[in-house]
Amino acid sequence: MDCRRFLSRLWKWGVVALAGATVWTSWELLRPTGGQVSGPIATVPLDTIPSESVLEVPTIRGYLTEVDGTTVSLNWKCPHLGCKVPWCESSGQFECPCHGSVFNRAGE
């Protein structure tokens, strides 16, 4: 086999391998799960969710609170640049330590 033919075959097999990897990755990403989630799910009793403060839940990377009788789930990631926004008990609001953004319990 000459060098030109070898490189041509190598190129074609590379394309086939790339196409296979693309299909495999797409299938893993898009395949139906039947509504089932793999891994443990943390549950929080509703009566432990505070109405004047927030409950930090690390497994959801966020907070649970109650606003106007509705349970609200908030991600702790700041929409500005992604810092974790802690709850400040003394001010009663979320205060981002990175650039000073402030959010109320509804996340506004």
Residue 96 binding ligand FES, by CB under 6 A: yes
**Residue 84 interacts with ligand FES (CB under 6 A): yes or no:** no
Site track 25-64 with ligand FES (rule: CB under 6 A), x = hit: ----------------------------------------
Residues 6+ apart with CB under 8 A from 88: 94, 95
Strand stretches in the chain, DSSP E: 55-57, 62-67, 70-75, 87-88, 93-95, 102-103
Closest to ligand FES by CB, 31 vs 99, is 99
Q: Does position 101 bind ligand FES by CB under 6 A?
A: yes
Shortest distance, CB of residue 30 to ligand FES, whole angstroms?
32
